[in-house]
Amino acid sequence: MNMQKMLKQVQKMQADMAKAQEELKTKTVEASAGGGVVTVTANGAQEIVAVKIKPEAVDPDDVEMLEDLVMAAVNEALRKAQELAAQEMQKVAGGLNIPGLPPGLF
């Protein structure tokens, strides 16, 4: 592969990755904890965009339980968002073959 062709391929991939990163901001994943009493929505940019807490989850005598449910739902939503982002980036970079780099790096 000549250098100019490889440079064009890398530039296209960079543009595609930038586009994919913008699109990830519009895609969301959802995770819940406590049988659905706490639900967290995150976008593909790994930002929390919504937190829903059902009234039955609020027990003034057990705030720690609610904190644990929120933390569990947030962590799961972020894990799903990272997975979504990885899948989308794999679509963009999956076909890239740069000599000298280990296969599967992209």
Give CA 59 to chain center in angstroms: 31
| pTM passes above 0.85 | no
Could you give the 3-state DSSP secondary structure of residue 29? strand
Give CA 73 to chain center in angstroms: 14
**E strand spans, 13-95:** 28-33, 38-43, 48-53
Give CA 50 to chain center in angstroms: 15
- φ, ψ at 2 (rounded to 5°): -80, 160
Structural tokens at position 20: 């994919």
Could you give the 3-state DSSP secondary structure of residue 83? helix
Kindly give the confidence (pLDDT) of every residue in the chain, 106 residues in length, as a single tens digit, with 9 standing for 90 and above. 588 888 888 888 888 888 888 888 899 999 999 999 999 999 998 999 999 999 999 999 999 999 999 999 999 999 999 999 888 888 877 655 555 544 444 4
CA trace torsion 33, 34, 38, 44 (10° rounding)? 10
Query: All domains of the chain, ordered by start, with CATH?
Result: 28-93 (3.30.1310.10)
